[in-house]
Amino acid sequence: MARKTPPNGNEHPTSTRRIGLSLGADLCWPACYEQILAELDPVIRWNGEDVRIACERVTIEPFNLRQPCSYDMVLDRLTHWYATSREWIKKAILMDDLYVLNNPWSVQSMEKHTSYAAMMRLGMPIPETWMVPPKAYAPHEDLRPTLRRYAKLFDLRRVGTEIGYPLFMKPYDGGGWRGVSLCRNEQELLSRYEESGTQQMHLQAAVDGWDRFVRCIGLGAQTHMVRYDPDAALHDRYTMDRDFLTPEDARILRDTTLTINAFFGWDFNSCEALHSGGTWTPIDFANPCPDSQVTSLHYHFPWIVLANLRWSIFCTVTRRPMRRTLDWEPYLAVAAEQDMPWPERLRAYGTLAEKHFDVEAFEAFCAEHLSDLDEIAWSFFGSDRARDAIRLKVSALFPAHEVERFTELFFQRVQQWRADNPPNKA
């Protein structure tokens, strides 16, 4: 349990460590995170001192590369698209030992294409995937002679036939369903390719006959499984279904997600997988800035807030070192064991990932120092303060005449989470 500082005297030195929130359009989860942290107000005795936690939002401004960083940890939501914040974070990791969610070099360079290739190398059942040259090109001085000399004419029809229909055409670097097309036949493939412009595209076989679509969210040592309905309205895609996985299925998805995250140095990522014919097929798993908004997650929103709190406090108090570089060799060594059955191989990857995320130490830390957190969060999410945080995000996305309706809808789904997760089980 987090120990409060005695009112009169304290024989242990006290330090304050600071968490920065580097935010974009996020409104709801930071408001909840900040208020719950303030109410928890932990003072954690660690290595002979009492550690307090402070939190503030990171501002964007000019910086001297030698300017010391005032944060011990940053929860980052900008690295994947905003260069100024990314470069400040990279400087702070290199010069000030800042811990960041996620590794910014990995986020910058490891797009979906790389993640597909890497997980194929590890033996995961990734659907058949091809990359095709773009249909059009932006002007470039050396492009014409390069294409004239080296670009080989290709038959898109043949590629489609080899992959098989239906197939998906999607940008190799992803981005919130941007440019994703279902091609059910040759004509649709040709038409979608004509419309794709300068985008570099993958063609990927669809998974036939799937019966479950699950999004597994990984945040540090924690995972959370959500049954996903891609055909529903945006606010209903994360279903409220429970008990839809066997323990074996849950272990497969957890090991898959933690393996991907540890491999690429991502603390926070989500893995989408389809279940078909007894096999879980990962289809989209380079998402190192997962949706964290109550307008999408609703019932699952409190889990995201709590997971962020637990992992950030653990990393900050224990001074978890930032892994600046990636070490793929232990995973590739397992992949080289050709006679190892796939279930054993995946478990071996999962064991490596659990070691990377210090799962045992994290769970022991939470049990000893954050035992108050569940009850504080449970009470908070039933309060008007939580409703106000929900309304803040709803007001930013929905027309004025729908704000109250959807605020109440999402608030009631959070209340269902409270009913299903009383403090001793949350």
Domains and CATH numbers, the chain: 1-102+313-320+359-426 (no CATH), 110-127+213-287+325-357 (3.30.470), 128-205 (3.30.1490.20)
Residue found under tokens 């389809």? 274
Strand pairing of 129-132 and 167-171? Answer: unpaired
Q: How many CB atoms lie within 10 A of CB 209?
A: 9
Query: Taking the C-alpha atoms of 391, 397, 398 and 404 in order, what is their torsion angle to the nearest 10 degrees?
Result: 0
The distance of Cα 397 from the centroid of its chain, to the nearest Å, equals 22
Nearest Cα neighbor of 263 from 176, 357, 173 is 357
Q: Report pLDDT digits (tens) over 325-350.
A: 999 999 999 999 989 999 999 999 99
Check residue 5 and give its pLDDT.
46
Q: Report pLDDT digits (tens) over 24-83.
A: 999 999 999 999 999 999 999 999 999 999 999 999 999 999 999 999 999 999 988 899
Q: Where are the beta strands (DSSP E) in 154-278?
A: 167-171, 181-183, 201-205, 212-219, 222-227, 268-276
How far apart CA 421 and CA 413 sit, in angstroms, is 12
Phi, psi angles (nearest 5°) of residue 187: -65, -40
Q: Report pLDDT digits (tens) over 356-379.
A: 999 999 999 999 999 999 999 999
Angle between helical axes of 28-40 and 384-397 (0-180°, round to 10): 160
**What is the token pair recorded at 23?**
């935010």
Q: Report pLDDT digits (tens) over 73-132.
A: 999 999 888 999 999 999 999 999 999 999 999 999 988 999 999 999 999 999 999 999
Q: Are 286 and 170 within 8 A, CB to CB? A: no
Strand pairing of 73-76 and 99-101? Answer: parallel
Residues paired with residue 55 on neighbouring β-strands, in sequence order = 19
CA distances to 178, 261, 282, 389, 420 from 198, in Å: 13, 30, 27, 40, 48
Q: Confidence class of residue 176 from pLDDT cuts 50, 70 and 90?
A: low
Q: Report pLDDT digits (tens) over 235-244.
A: 999 999 999 9
Residues 6+ apart with CB under 8 A from 408: none
How far apart CA 223 and CA 200 sit, in angstroms, is 32
Q: Report pLDDT digits (tens) over 139-156.
A: 888 888 888 888 888 999
Burial code of 109-128, b = ≥16 C-beta within 10 A, e = fewer?
ebbbbebbebbeebbbebbe
Q: Report pLDDT digits (tens) over 261-289.
A: 999 999 999 999 999 999 999 999 999 89
Check residue 6 and give its pLDDT.
46
Q: Are 271 and 282 within 8 A, CB to CB? A: yes
Check residue 150 and give its pLDDT.
87
